[in-house]
Amino acid sequence: MALKSVRCFLIMTMILGILIGIQIKSPYQISSDGSFIMRDTITKINKERIESYTLMKQKKAYEREIEKLEDKTSDENQALMEYKNKADYLKNLMAYTSVEGPGIRIIIDTHDDRNLAYLMEERKLFIILVNELKSEGCEAISINGQRINSMSEITLAGNHININAVAIAPPYEVNAIGNSAKLLNYVNTKSPIIDIMKNGYNLSINFKVENSLILPKLDYIKSPEYIKEVL
């Protein structure tokens, strides 16, 4: 009887040990351990996703700022280019820079010993000729190397002519940049003042087409004192 009781106790102990072992290695415990690892991994992944999303938002914000700056820079560059073109045009117009281009050269002289300066000034022949050339599309004019602009003066000073306060002497060389064919046709066939100088005053007038005329800038620049830009 005692032996039977011992056997029962041993069997019960073995069964209890097996049950405890099964409990320790049960799927629940494994799942519990796995769930903890998974939760930690998911937490890290979510954190990285949040950081990536934040960085992506910042990147897009920076890209928008860059686009705005590029657009602004482009607009500013366009405005600067327009101002530069306007400034260059005004500089050329006022003879503040040397210029080059096709055109014609006109040489005016006498066949005798007359004072050509007095005749040219008294009859305003230079002024009329300059105006005619401008009316035919001439873009730049010089007389004996003196550029003509809106503030140039052509005056008689004793026995010679002054242009831009610089004395010039005959023969007079007028260089005109523009459409050379049009200008040559005009002075050859249509210009009233050329006809008057040749046939009325018996002056020597010669023309020559030039593919490249270089007109120097003014040595002395007069700055406007009273005129102001109207905005």
Sketch the domain layout of the chain as residue ranges: 42-93, 99-215
Residue with the bigger pLDDT between 183 and 77: it is 183
Residues 26-55 have a mean pLDDT of 62
Q: Is the pLDDT of residue 43 over 90?
A: no
CA dihedral 87, 88, 89, 95 (to 10 degrees): 110
CATH class of 99-215: alpha beta
Of the chain, the percentage scoring pLDDT greater than 70 comes to 79
Give CA–CA dist 78/80, Å, rounded. Answer: 5
- Mean pLDDT taken over the chain: 81
Residues 10-39 have a mean pLDDT of 53
- pLDDT tens-digit series, residues 151-193: 889 999 989 999 999 999 999 999 999 999 999 999 999 999 9
Give CA–CA dist 83/24, Å, rounded. Answer: 86
Residues 121-143 have a mean pLDDT of 95
Of the chain, the percentage scoring pLDDT greater than 90 comes to 48
Residue with the bigger pLDDT between 10 and 79: it is 79
Q: Is the pLDDT of residue 6 over 60?
A: no
Residues 49-74 have a mean pLDDT of 75
Q: How many other C-beta atoms can be found within 10 angstroms of the C-beta atom of residue 205?
A: 18
Q: What's the confidence (pLDDT) of residue 38? A: 63
Task: Using alpha carbons, select from 178, 194, 215 the residue that is nearest to residue 103.
Answer: 178
Q: What is the SS3 assignment for 212?
A: strand
* CB contact burial 29-44 (16+ within 10 A = b; e otherwise): eeeeeeeeeeeeeeee
- φ and ψ of 207, to 5 deg: -120, 150
Residues 206-222 have a mean pLDDT of 90
Residues 2-27 have a mean pLDDT of 52
Give CA–CA dist 96/74, Å, rounded. Answer: 29
Q: What's the confidence (pLDDT) of residue 220? A: 76
Give CA–CA dist 31/98, Å, rounded. Answer: 90
Q: Is the pLDDT of residue 32 over 60?
A: no
Do 155 and 126 meet the contact criterion of CB atoms below 8 Å apart? no
Contacts of 210 (CB under 8 A, 6+ apart): 102, 103, 104, 105, 175, 180
